[in-house]
Every structure is written in structure tokens, then in C-alpha cells.
Amino acid sequence: MSTHKGVLWKIRMLNIFLTSTRRVRITRLHGARGLGTSPAASCPKVCIVGGGPAGFYTAQHLVKTRPDVQVDIYERLPVPFGLVRFGVAPDHPEVKNVMNTFTQTAQHARCSFHGNVSVGKDVTVQELQEAYHAVVLSYGAEGNRTLGVPGEDLAGVHSAKDFVGWYNGLPTNRDLRPDLRCETAVILGQGNVALDVARILLSPVDILKVRDLSLLRPCNNTDITQPALDTLAESSVRRVLIVGRRGPLQLACTIKELREMVNLPGTRPEMEASDFECIAKMLKVLPRPRKRLTELLLKVAVETPEETELERRNSAKRAWGFRFFRSPVEILPSDDLTRAAGIRLAVNRLEGEGEDVWAVTTGEVEDVECGLVISSIGYKSLPIDPAVPFDPRKHIIPNTMGRVQKCAGLYCSGWVKRGPTGVIATTMNDSFDTARTLLHDMDEGTLDISTVKPGSAGVTTILEKRGVKPVLFSDWEKIDSEESKRGEARGKPREKLLDVGEMLKVAWT
Amino acid sequence: MAQLCVPSSLTGKGACEGTLACSTCHVILDQKVYDQLGPITDEENDLLDLAYGLSDTSRLGCQVCLSRDLEGITVCVPDGVNDMRSSEDTGPKL
């Protein structure tokens, strides 16, 4: 048994029913944690800014741990769930199952959701602090890091954030209209978002339409927006290069996503064997996740495939590959100077050792012809309100264990706290950490919960004066129902509404 | 193990509802129990790679079929601690 912290559970079968369901009883062996709290003079009220995973997981932990706390979640859009709705790729519907947990949280007696409220504009953070005992900032990262190279503003250049927002129906990106009438697309960055973009660009449209080919039932279609599906069906993109400034051992994506690319029907991998010199001999010293990732990469990039795979590759009409040791220096314009026609890449070498290696330019450059450049080098949080400190270098809210520095009563969770990396489970753990910090402060008296605060009643008064009407969770359920209904007509799980005005109309019928 | 009646203190486990899209149901088993179970697929191993506190006898709970033979086993559910940052200033490496 491992020596690290964990809880032991004994599993006893209670019954085996005639159906295949088995009921088990679990008893905790030791390490039980009590749920009791000291009674408060008034009901503690917490406000959460941001209705994505961080907001919902923070809320979940708070309401489950203290039987008296009321949690209100404020979200700028009329619809909840943040990047689970707008970031997770449409061909990863299982990842979106977390929405069921979030729905349970929103429907909890001591939790409420208020959409269509823009904190910093419709209501200030200071006003929230007056209405609540604590405010948790969980509003994520709506910006993106820029390349800072000439040509970045040419047509045909998009941030991955915008491209992903476009195929996932984010209202701000509805009119992106990416031009896919080119043969080669270059993606800058090699994280999971870059691989999502590559996969969506190269997936046979039938897969985006029918998720599980072995079933071929209409109900298995994805929730990719119809305009995106139509555009992808007409796409000329046949080759996608996924570019990183460092080497194969610094590849930022995870193995699940790499394996999906390797197995993508109708595609073949094309990589430079020279990028992989000296990699094989490093394998034995690598930790397991990096080792397995590198083994798969080597197998795909360097090893001679066996016959069926060779045949499959030869008949594939689309290609993808990683390009390592390359940094963008300029996006090259077309003859009429209106759009991207290529990209100039600096050739790098690595300096440093072990975990700490960085790219240094060699002076050499290389031009690659392409008509689409997607920059996937990171999302970025933005400051929300002058009352909230913000680190302009790291682009996060300065904090210690979720407590905003020098601001009593202010907390943060998720990407705005730690930076925009990690999977949903990372954010979940982080949100639970912030909730624990907040609860600790309540228990210790560091956070004063003895005064009576108006909570959402106070905020509603302010919003009414300003002509802002919140979308409640039951209103979202009408949007949800309408999207599902529209999706059914097309054999999709939902057809997302793409316009805030339309969302509000449906919400308030 | 995905059909366990999970008490509320196991919050956060099974986030993807047993569809091999997360690693929150990570459990650590006794060597004997581990050896009894079927082989691990690449897909399960890919997700185990992301689990906190991965051990040589780790499995994803949602992939383990409970049977009479497993009556009375003890499993260790690792605390899902975020090991990426210390308690001091947090933020991305620049």
C-alpha cells in the first residue's frame, strides 16, 4: 500500500440483485473528518464570480461542508459552465459529464445561479463585498497571450481561444468566419488545446457528425455548431503542423490527446526524424507519464510501421506532424498584403538541463507556406475591477492559498488564481483548496460572519436600478431545453444558441 | 466500482461518470487484489498517468468490475491534493 496520504475504505457486498446492479456498503476505516461547524449568528453568505468549473466546484465544496452557508454564483453570460461548454472539444462529450454535478450544485437549496450579470460593469466587486461575507473570484481567463510578431493581425491568423470559441458557439466568436480554403494550417503551441484544434481541422466531418462510427445512430452526433460543421465540411485543409519552440521531451500535450491524433482516421503522421536524435536513450530515466508519451511519439515519428499501418498511411489524404525547435518570427503576407500566406520560423537549439531547458535561436530561419495560423500559446486572465489586485506579469490575482493578498474577504479559485493550465480535475482540486481556506477563515474568525449581510437581495436591488435582469438557473433550463430540442431535429445532443439576445429571449419566455 | 453508493465525503470522485475522461476515481489496491484484476488498457493507463500519487498498484475505480471474489477488499483513495504549487505565491512559470 502506498505511503502517501489517502483514506482506506473497506468494501462489503450487501446484495446482488437480479439485475446487474450491485449495492455495496463502504465504511471508512480511519481518518474520518467531521462535518460539524459552530453555529453562526447569521447565515454566512458567499458570492462567487464566474460560473465555470472553478465557480461550481468552489460552491459545491462550500455548501456540502457547512450546513448554513448560502452561495450565489454570478456569471456574465446567460448560460453557465464556462469552458466545459465553450472549451472542451465537441468530440469529447464524456468530459462534459461534470455539468451534471454542477447542475446538482446549482439546484441545491443553498445555492443560486445568476447569469447575465457582468461583475465589474453591472455591479462592482466592492458592492459585492458589501452584500456578502466573502467574495470568491473564479472568472477564469478570457484573453490570450499574443505572439508579438509582425503579421499577427493579418486575415487568416486566429488565437486558439477564438477558434475553439467559434466551433463551440461562444457568442463573441460567432462571426469569426475562419477561411479554411488553404492546404496547410500551422498551429503554434503543442498543448492539449493545440491538439484539439488539429483534430477538429482534420477529423473526417462524418466523425464530428457521428461520434461513434460503430453505432452510426443519428443521436451520436456532436454539439459542434452547425455553422462550424458546414465550414469544416468545405475545408481544403489537408496538412496541419503543430509547432513548438523546444524539443520532443518538452511536448506539452498529454498522451490521451496524442493517441487520438495517431488514431485519427484518414490521416497520417509526418515528422522530422532528425528532431528525435538522442531521445530514445533518455527513456529509461523519464518518469512514467513522460516516458509513455515519449515512447508513443517515437513509435509514430521514427519507427517503421508494420504493413497494415503502412497501407493505411499511404492511403490517407490528410497529414499532421509536430515541428520542434521552431519559434515564429513573422507571419508572411500574401501578395496583396491582406492575408497570411506563410510563416517565418526561427530554428532553435536547447540550453539547460533536465526539467529546466529553454530555447535559444541559432540564427537560422525557415519559411513555411500556409494559409491559416492558429496561435495556441496560452489563455490569459484579465483584471476585472480596480478593487481587485492583479499581477500584470503573471496575469493572475496575487494570492496565498486562495486568499487574495491584502484584501480581507476576497478569495480566488481556478485559472485566475493559478494560471491557465491544467485539466478540469486540476481546477476541481484547486477550487476545493480555496473553499477549505475560506471555511477555515470562517471557523477561526479571521473572516467575520457575525454581521447580517443582504446577499443576493442586496445585489438584485442594485441590478434593478441599473436595468440588469439576471438569468436564473430555471431560466437557463429553458435555454437548455430549447437547444436540446433544436439538436434533436439534427440528431445532435444540442444545437447551441449563438447569440446572447436569443438566449435572453428564450430564458425569459 | 463506478456503481458504488458513494458517501458525500468522497466529493469530486468520478467526475466524468465512469467514461474514461478523468482520473478522479484513482484507487490504490493491495498487490494481491491488483494481480487478480484483468489487464489495463492503453486508454486507462493514459489517464492514470495524470493521477496524483500514482503507484504500481493503481487502477481507475471505474474500470474495476466488482465481483464476489473481491468481497471485503480494502482500497486506498488518495486525497486529490494539487501537487503543482506550494502554498506561497502561485502562478504560471514565465
CA dihedral for A370, A373, A374, A378, sign (positive or negative): positive
- Angle made by CA atoms A482, A486, A487, in degrees to the nearest 5: 115
* pLDDT value of residue A210: 54
User: Cβ contacts of residue A311 below 8 Å, gap of 6+?
Assistant: none
Tens digit of each residue's pLDDT (9 = 90 or more) over A57-115: 999 999 999 999 999 999 999 999 999 999 999 999 999 999 999 999 999 999 999 99
Instruction: Verify whether the Cβ–Cβ distance B91 to A396 is below 8 Å.
Output: yes
Q: Does A398 touch chain B (CB under 8 A)?
A: yes
Nearest residue to A183 via CA among A404, A369, A17: A369
Distant-in-sequence, close-in-space partners of A275: CB < 8 Å, separation ≥ 6: A247, A248, A301, A322, A323, A324, A325
CB pairs under 8 A between A and B: 165
CA distance A94 to B2: 15
pLDDT at position A68 is 96
CB contact under 8 A, B66 and A293: no
Q: CB distance from B69 to chain A under 8 Å?
A: no
Q: How many CB atoms lie within 10 A of CB B84?
A: 14
**A4 and chain B in contact, CB less than 8 A:** yes
Residues of B in contact with A24 (CB under 8 A): 3-5, 66
Cα separation of A427 and A418, whole Å?
Answer: 9
3-state secondary structure of A369: strand
Instruction: Show residues of chain A in contact with B11, CB under 8 Å.
Output: 60-61, 64, 432
pLDDT band, very low/low/confident/very high, at A304 (cuts 50, 70, 90):
very high
The distance of B26 to chain A (nearest Cα, Å) reads 11
Examine the pLDDT at A436 and tell me if it is beyond 90: yes
Q: Which residue of A has its CA nearest to B42?
A: A256
Q: Do B81 and A259 touch (CB under 8 A)?
A: no
All cell numbers assigned to A322 = 509536430
Out of B54, B66, B76, the one facing A1 most closely (by C-beta) is B76
Q: Is B9 exposed, middle or buried (0-12, 13-18, 19+ CB in 10 A)?
A: middle
Q: How far apart are CA B61 and CA B42, in angstroms?
A: 15
Burial of residue B20 (CB within 10 Å: 0-12, 13-18, 19+) is middle
| pLDDT class of A21 with cuts at 50, 70, 90 | very low
| Residue A451 forms contact with B (CB below 8 Å) | no
Average pLDDT over residues A369-382: 98
Instruction: Lowest mean pLDDT of A138-142, A204-208, A310-314, name the range.
Output: A204-208
* Integer Cα distance of A453 and A414 in angstroms: 26
Partner residue facing B5 (CB), from A24, A97, A426: A24
B44: closest CA of chain A, how far (Å): 9
Which of A154, A99, A89 has its CA nearest to residue A344?
A154
Cβ atoms of residues A44 and A384 within 8 Å: no
Q: Which of A41-55, A94-108, B14-28 is the least confident region? A: B14-28
> Given a cut of 50, is residue A343 above it in pLDDT?
yes
User: What's the pLDDT at A36?
Assistant: 37
Q: What is the average pLDDT score of chain A?
A: 91
CB < 8 Å & 24+ apart, contacts of A474-482: A475/A78, A475/A115, A475/A507, A475/A508, A476/A78, A476/A79, A476/A80, A476/A113, A476/A115, A476/A507, A478/A506, A478/A507, A478/A509, A479/A78, A479/A79, A479/A503, A479/A506, A479/A507, A482/A506
pLDDT tens digits for B29-87?
999 999 988 889 999 999 999 888 888 899 998 888 877 777 778 888 886 644 433 33
Residues composing chain A: 509
- Among the residue ranges A146-155, A183-192, B2-11, the one predicted with the least confidence is B2-11
∠ CA B81-B87-B90, rounded to 5°: 100
A188: pLDDT strictly greater than 60: yes
Query: How far away is chain B from the Cα of A275, in angstroms, using its nearest Cα?
Result: 24
Separation between Cα atoms, residue A337 and residue A351, nearest integer Å: 37
Q: What is the ipTM of this complex?
A: 0.80
Confidence (pTM): 0.89
Burial class for A457, CB neighbours closer than 10 Å (0-12, 13-18, 19+): exposed
